[in-house]
Structure 1
Amino acid sequence: MTASGTAIESVDFALAAYREEGVWQVAELTPDHATDVETLSAALRRFPGDGGAVGLVAVDEDFFVVVRVAGARTRVMLSDVTAATEWELAAVVVEHLGLPPVDDDDEPEPAGDLELLSDLGVDAMDLAAILDDDELYPDEMLSEIARGLGFGDLFDDVVGLTSA
């Protein structure tokens, strides 16, 4: 699988969220921004947000990635490490995080910085609770995260979810 082929076609959505003068803004990114952490980070740095920007990428209703940039700092969280056995983006995130290669015997679990949204209103415990809900698809998990951050309705409108 190449980043220019199936991976881009499998991106459900890629969004940037940022606060400008205290008000959340949500902008769609193109799927080719979601090929790796560096490309996504570069795209997020274009946004003028107070305290940086947050990238939300969902892939094939299977997993999601949250990337937060603030200045030169990039923080990353992957919803399920086992996605790295099937998806190039997840494998790139695992490599970026410096984790050992994932194999088929590994248990599904999140990886990376679970505190990356704590100062915005979703701490590691909240994030873990959302990730533990086996009933939710990645877009629904991201909707819950967006709701906790304060832009749930904006998120739902952009990705086409009906508001809860």
Structure 2
Amino acid sequence: MTVQEPVAGFAVAVVREDGRWRCSAMDNSVLTGLDASITALRELRSTGAVFGMCNVDDEFFVLIRPVPGGVDLLLSDAAAALDYDIAGDVLDLLRVDAPDEDDEEVWPEGNLAVLSDLGLPEGELLVIIEEVDLYPDEQLEMIAQRCGFGDDFSKLLETMYR
């Protein structure tokens, strides 16, 4: 069994229950592989929406939303699968081939409608992803603001990086 190198970044679990949002930090070990992230989110057991937002090494982000019978996923940059296990795991689960090494274009893979029922339509999520001048944490903050839990998300990030 190989020891996985730690990956920089953060993972946040987001829960909406009874019309209220709650954000909590997930252990950074979930950034090394998708299975750990999905398991941690499923353990939250909520009657409302549950999803994870992962900023991996300030390079890309992953949205993970357990659904009955599976999981909805969105990877902000498919090319990240060439360098990061969690991104490769996402493409594997989506049954999408990794891009070629010489492909320099950035494009998302997965379900762009993953948060549409929470106030973020596909088109708006795509616009956020295509803002290549923004870091993943800034993109995730925009997503949080648009869905209505931006203040909670920002406060959590402040406490994580004090």
Q: TM-score, normalised by structure 2?
A: 0.89
Query: Does the Cα contact within 8 Å between 1:51 and 1:70 map onto a contact in 2?
Result: no
Deviations 1:14-53 (A, max 9, x none): 1100112110000111011233222211111122434331
Cα 1:50/1:147, change in 2 over 3 Å? farther
Alignment of 1:32-43 (within 5 A): 32-43=29-40
Gaps of 5+ in 1: none
In the TM superposition, what is the alpha-carbon distance from 1:4 to its structure 2 partner? 4.1
Q: Which amino acid aligns with 2:4?
A: G
What is the distance in 1 between the residues matched to 2:107 and 2:17? 33
In the TM superposition, what is the alpha-carbon distance from 1:115 to its structure 2 partner? 0.5
Q: Which amino acid aligns with 1:74?
A: V
Do residues 22 (structure 1) and 16 (structure 2) align? no
Query: Does the Cα contact within 8 Å between 2:79 and 2:99 map onto a contact in 1?
Result: yes
Q: Which moved more, 1:33-42 or 1:56-65?
A: 33-42
Q: 1:123 aligns with which of 121, 146, 152?
A: 121
In the TM superposition, what is the alpha-carbon distance from 1:3 to its structure 2 partner? 8.0
Do residues 111 (structure 1) and 109 (structure 2) align? yes
Query: Does the Cα contact within 8 Å between 2:78 and 2:98 map onto a contact in 1?
Result: no
Gaps of 5+ in 2: none
Query: Does the Cα contact within 8 Å between 1:11 and 1:57 map onto a contact in 2?
Result: no
Cα 1:48/1:20, change in 2 over 3 Å? farther
Q: Which moved more, 1:109-118 or 1:41-50?
A: 41-50
What is the distance in 1 between the residues matched to 2:70 and 2:98? 24
Cα 1:74/1:23, change in 2 over 3 Å? same
Q: Which amino acid aligns with 2:39?
A: A
- Number of the residue aligned with 1:159: 157
Q: TM-score, normalised by structure 1?
A: 0.88
What is the distance in 2 between the residues matched to 1:53 and 1:148? 16
SS in 1 for 2:4: helix
Aligned length: 158
In the TM superposition, what is the alpha-carbon distance from 1:105 to its structure 2 partner? 2.4
What is the distance in 1 between the residues matched to 2:55 and 2:39? 18
Structure 1 vs Structure 2 CA RMSD: 1.9
Q: Which amino acid aligns with 2:62?
A: V
What is the distance in 2 between the residues matched to 1:135 and 1:128? 14
Cα 1:96/1:122, change in 2 over 3 Å? same
Deviations 1:94-134 (A, max 9, x none): 11110013222222101100011000001110100101112
Q: Which moved more, 1:96-105 or 1:58-67?
A: 96-105
